[in-house]
Amino acid sequence: MASNFVPNNQHRNLRACMVCSVVQTHARFMTSGCPNCEPFLELAGSADAIAECTSQVFDGLITVAETKKSWVARWQRLEGYAPGVYAVKVEGTLPEEVITAVENAGIKYVPRDGSANDETN
């Protein structure tokens, strides 16, 4: 399970983290948690936490090889995150306490569901 590859039959179990938008199978969240947010989300082993902080409703898959150089990663605010598969949009709302936990950890929480649309195209 070190690979980010997900075979087709597992596509049903994919979930996206609402904080960093990484996409993994539910099983992988259970075993290794979120590669970017584990310190403050603590998803590994907790089905409840996974249900609260990850969502099955997401749109647009991105696979990022180099989060530093890719403009896509920069645009999606994925700089510094681990390479892997991410979602463009994740729908769902984080519970208040999780948001506070995120902010306390120093991350500026930006909702990944498109509500923070400050593009001025």
Partner 1 sequence: MSGLHDHSGSESEDEDFNPQPEIDEEENNDASSDRPDAARRRVQEDNYDDEDDGQAVAPAKKHTNEDDEDDAEAEDEPDADGVADDDDDDDEDDDEDEVVGRSRKRRKRDARMQFIDVEAEVDDEDEEEIEEDDEVPDETHPDDLLEPGGADLDDRRHRELDRKREAQANMDAEQQAALFNQKYGHRNAVRMESSHAPQTLTLPTVNDPAVWGVKVKPTKEREVIFAITKRIEERANSRDPLRIYSAFERGGTMTGYIYVEADSKQDLMEALEDLSNVYVRSNAPINVDVKERPDLLRKQKSEPLKPGQWVRMKRPPLYAGDLAKVYEVEGNGLDVSVQLVPRLDYGLNEDANAVPDANKRKRGGFAAAGPRPARRLFNEADAKKKHMKYLQQVSSSLATTKHYIYRNDTYINGLLIKDVKISHLMTKNVDPKMDETADFGSVAADGTTTLDLNSLAATLRAATSGSSYVPGDNVEVYEGEQKGVVGTTVSVTGDIVTLKVTEGELRGRTIDAPVKTLRKLFRDGDHVKVIGGSKYVDEVGLVVRIKDDRVTLLTDSNQQEITVFSKDLKRAADSGTVGDDSNFDLYDLVQLDAATVACVIKVDRETLRVLDQTGSVRTVLPSQIANKLEKRKNAVATDRDGSEIHHDDTVKEHGGESRQGRVLYIHRNFLFVQNREQAENYGIFVVRSTNVTTMAAKGGRVQAAGPDLSKMNPSMLQPGANGSSMPPPRSMGRDKLIGKTVTVRKGTYKGLLGIVKDTNGDDARIELHTKNKTITVKKDVLAVKDPITGASMDFGGKFTNRSRPGGGGNATPSGRDWSGARTPAWGNSGQPRAPAWA
Residues 32, 19 contacting (CB under 8 angstroms): no
Q: Is 50 left (phi over 0), alpha (psi -120 to 50) or beta?
A: alpha
Q: Footprint of partner 1 on residues 35-74 (CB under 8 A)?
A: 36, 39, 51-52, 55-57, 59-66, 69-74
Please say whether the beta carbons of 19 and 107 come within 8 A.
Answer: yes
Smallest distance, partner 1 to C-beta of residue 108, A: 4
Residues contributing to the site for partner 1 (CB under 8 A): 3-8, 11, 36, 39, 51-52, 55-57, 59-66, 69-81, 83-85, 88-89, 91-93, 95, 105-108, 110, 113-115, 117-121
